[in-house]
Structure 1
């Protein structure tokens, strides 16, 4: 008795030229990768055009088209592990390796490969911009961390208040430099941090830092310096101060709340729902 053998689905074969191109992406594949790197972006087979992908982006029920690409470009990204299809084969999304490649491409020169493994951001302050790894920022961690009820540990106002204090401390040159400043000016043999040699914007930043810490109070100012300035994590703060576990979270929320009040930052916008229409005539 002859048994029927079901045909297995044919395995997708990536042409050799496409596998070779995955190390150095073609222009269209690179553009598709950049589209997939946008928030909420994905690509799917185009129902209107054969052998084509349509890229979409957006969320919360709103989807916006962001271009049409050849299916071969999607295969190149998938072969290079820069993008992956879902189980149903209906959506192509970027992978962690793809995001790392985009971060590497966004940074020039020697900072390209460090940017691949770190979330580097540019902090304006002082005499020159400073690169900072945002993934090491405890304020960002507190924004991502959720309580049992689903709310973040700190709100947007507290996060912005802590970032503002950090920027002022950076501008005021109150944080230690990693390395030597060979080009720093010297006045009458004094060091580069001589108060008399500070620029006006540095002096103004120091005054803002002093005013913010005074408004928060001496009982909480030291915590803000460690948390926002030196980017110490909550567990390290608890260990250094010999506090009970998870107590730094509560104290940090109180300190950042006071700091936000000092800066005049509110959790939600207040005011009338509609502004009065004014007309100016020439």
Structure 2
């Protein structure tokens, strides 16, 4: 592609209202990627006058994530990709910076779609992975939604349990497809007609789904199928089941809690009450 073609495309994008991405130094690009991690922020390095320390983490745990020059932070602030807090001691990524990272991480041809959607890749066991908008996932909404006391509606363990069930249901081919699976093998115009011809990973995924639903119980398994598999919202579940308003939230938390217990997931890792003895004299 020559320079005239690039200039023409840039002008066409400007006419359509698409902002041209601002060129960043290499160190500023790396700093933006670090700030895009969950709970990440940068603060001035107390040991040097021209340095930034990046920290990340939450729930009282903070770990180091790198050291950068102050010039990298200034480049992000000037490009409106990051901003300092009112005290000037903490630099965090902004909405424009998050959109830039989503464009960089998006598949080919989906950069500006990813700017407005939270695209994730799903490995459904087919020839090519599927792409899904995570913002349409009710579990993602529940883990981001806060109770009046500031805690999320569901903890990370419950969220991961629901996502694990959804992935297994996708691999088990239990969810409807919106189009043809052109990558699936076909023999004489037909698909597999007996369990022996089904892929081993599909059989294993179906066994995991069956075991998880049996562990949760028949009273809650249908709710998990609608919530995690078919991605039905809480209001839709209440309407279809004729439940009182805001009751699906309570039942979903109970169901996801049982599912997390089945998978062995917990919000906090806990060890034994006493450490293992290293000497027989102890």
**SS of the residue 2:227 aligns to:** helix
Give the equivalent residue in structure 2 for 1:253: 253
Count of aligned residue pairs for this structure pair: 256
Aligned 8 A contact 2:173 2:202 in 1: yes
Alpha carbons of structure 1 residues 83 and 261: separation in structure 2 relative to 1, 3 Å: closer
Map 1:3-152 to 2 at 5 A: 23-38=22-37, 39-44=39-44, 48-49=48-49, 52-58=50-56, 60=60, 64=64, 66-71=66-71, 73-127=72-126, 128-152=128-152
Of 227-236 and 100-109, more deviation after overlay is shown by 100-109
Alpha carbons of structure 1 residues 253 and 31: separation in structure 2 relative to 1, 3 Å: closer
Q: How much has 1:26 moved relative to structure 2? A: 2.3
**SS of the residue 2:67 aligns to:** strand
Of 58-67 and 135-144, more deviation after overlay is shown by 58-67
Distance between the aligned counterparts of 1:169 and 1:28, measured in 2? 41
Give the equivalent residue in structure 2 for 1:200: 200
Aligned 8 A contact 2:41 2:90 in 1: no
**SS of the residue 2:109 aligns to:** helix
Q: How much has 1:95 moved relative to structure 2? A: 0.9
| Higher Rg | 1
Give the equivalent residue in structure 1 for 2:174: 174
**SS of the residue 1:243 aligns to:** coil
Aligned 8 A contact 1:36 1:94 in 2: yes
Aligned 8 A contact 2:33 2:101 in 1: yes
Runs of 4+ in 1 over 6 A off after TM superposition: none
Alpha carbons of structure 1 residues 276 and 197: separation in structure 2 relative to 1, 3 Å: same
Q: How much has 1:57 moved relative to structure 2? A: 1.6
Alpha carbons of structure 1 residues 81 and 271: separation in structure 2 relative to 1, 3 Å: same
**SS of the residue 1:232 aligns to:** coil
Distance between the aligned counterparts of 1:109 and 1:242, measured in 2? 43
**SS of the residue 1:180 aligns to:** coil
Distance between the aligned counterparts of 1:265 and 1:177, measured in 2? 30
Distance between the aligned counterparts of 1:92 and 1:265, measured in 2? 33
CA deviations over 1:101-135 (Å, ceiling 9, x no partner): 11211234223222222223333341243333333
Aligned 8 A contact 1:168 1:205 in 2: yes
Q: Give the TM-score normalised by structure 2.
A: 0.75
Distance between the aligned counterparts of 1:254 and 1:43, measured in 2? 40
CA deviations over 1:222-264 (Å, ceiling 9, x no partner): 2111101011111121122222100111221222233334434
Map 1:221-240 to 2 at 5 A: 221-240=221-240
Q: Give the TM-score normalised by structure 1.
A: 0.75
Q: How much has 1:173 moved relative to structure 2? A: 0.8
Structure 1 gap segments, 5+ residues each: 1-20
Aligned 8 A contact 2:43 2:90 in 1: yes
Give the equivalent residue in structure 2 for 1:271: 272
Of 224-233 and 123-132, more deviation after overlay is shown by 123-132
Structure 2 gap segments, 5+ residues each: 1-19
